[in-house]
Amino acid sequence: MQLRSMSASNYRSLRKIRMDLAGVNLFIGANGVGKSNLYRSLQLVQAAVRGRLAHEIAAEGGMASALWSGPRRVEKNFRIKFDVEILDQERAATFYYGVEAGLRPPKAAAGFAFEPQVKAEHFAIETGSRPVTMMKRDGPGIMVRDERGRMEPYPEQAMTSETAIALLGDAGHYPEVGTFRRMVDGWRFFHGFRTDRDSPLRRPCLAVTAPMLDEDGGNLAAVLATLVHTRQDTVELDAAIASAFGGARLQVPEPGEHAEFGVIFPDFPQRIFHPRELSDGQIRFLGLATALMSYRLPPLIALNEPESSLHPDMLDPLADMIAEASRYSQIWIVTHSEHLAAAVFARCGARPKRVIRQDGATWIDGMRLTGVTDEEDE
């Protein structure tokens, strides 16, 4: 399953942008150009699928903060819009989903005055020559395609804070919606791990078999224990840690009630360094290593500035892990590091997309309005 394209309009610094995407997508640029807004757009698509779009926008400051604030024409219905296109190669199907959110009209009775309101959605599937609309939502009313192929009103109206895609998915009668939701719900976003002394990465966790890392890294020890004692194959992980930590090796005891781990360094072969003793860069690298080498990898792994706190010597091992993970997952990386961008390009052939500001809006240097860059076209 691969995210083939995404578009965003009127969201923060994203006036109107559409991009074709590849297996590894690498974004680099200066501070303040909007790299994180591209990343955040995908998170908000996932939030819509989970039924939490309004909550997520409200939590980041509400519509007043989220709407494009640059010069614009006076529009009666000025809205944030997100669209994605996902290819499911196993089913030979392409899924299309779009959602729009805006403010409550001044005299409307439904909803709260400043909350984000879901205004419109569409969901379509293409298995032949053209997409077929499966769901369309305009305001609270939802139209769905029934078993006979006819568009009919859904018996329940959506509240302004609800998304139709989540409402239909929870109903359990629409398998295409359920398949799409599972795809997007499986994406993982690693925005940066806490590294303070109370960081979830540094704490033992309950010994429960863990196929992949939580986004806050709270089950790090359990994921490592799963790799060591369940899969019993840590060759790539051991090589990455040895390369990044000067020959160090991971120590993961058989879990009891809790899972724990430590690191043994060549200079102190008789001593185990526990997570609370590791540097910020070391514990962050272990979090990234586990995200990229877990027992089961998610369909999409998004890393936002993964180089933060890492020693330069750790960037090449990080690029090695990204290349290995790209064999199984689609990768999205936002970085400031030219070193990391060059290392990923050398291993994966993914040319960095340079994010710039153009007429006040976030844009990709050399990209056409169609979403294709000159280099990709060549």
Distances (CA, A) of 130 to 136, 201, 300: 17, 47, 26
Question: How far apart are alpha carbons 305 and 212 in whole angstroms?
Answer: 20
Which pLDDT value is given to residue 374?
A: 61
Residues 90, 82: contact at Cβ < 8 Å? no
Amino acid letter, 267: D
Residues 210, 323: contact at Cβ < 8 Å? no
- Which residues make beta-bridge pairs with 2? 87
DSSP characters over 193-227: ---STT-GGGS-EE----SS--TT-TTHHHHHHII
Q: Could you report the average pLDDT of every consecutive run of 10 residues in the chain (378 residues)?
A: 95 95 96 93 97 95 88 74 94 95 72 82 93 95 92 94 93 88 96 93 96 96 96 94 96 96 96 97 97 96 95 96 97 96 97 94 89 61
CATH of span 191-342: 3.40.50.300
Residues 174, 144: contact at Cβ < 8 Å? yes
Per DSSP, the three-state class of 28 is strand
Total-model pTM: 0.92
Match 């929870």 to its residue by tokens.
Answer: 170
Kindly report, as residue ranges, where domains of CATH 3.40.50.300 are found in the chain: 191-342
Task: Say if strands 117-126 and 93-102 run parallel, antiparallel, or are unpaired.
Answer: antiparallel
Residues 327, 297: contact at Cβ < 8 Å? no
Structure tokens at 34: 């909007």
Domain range 2-21+30-187, CATH class: alpha beta
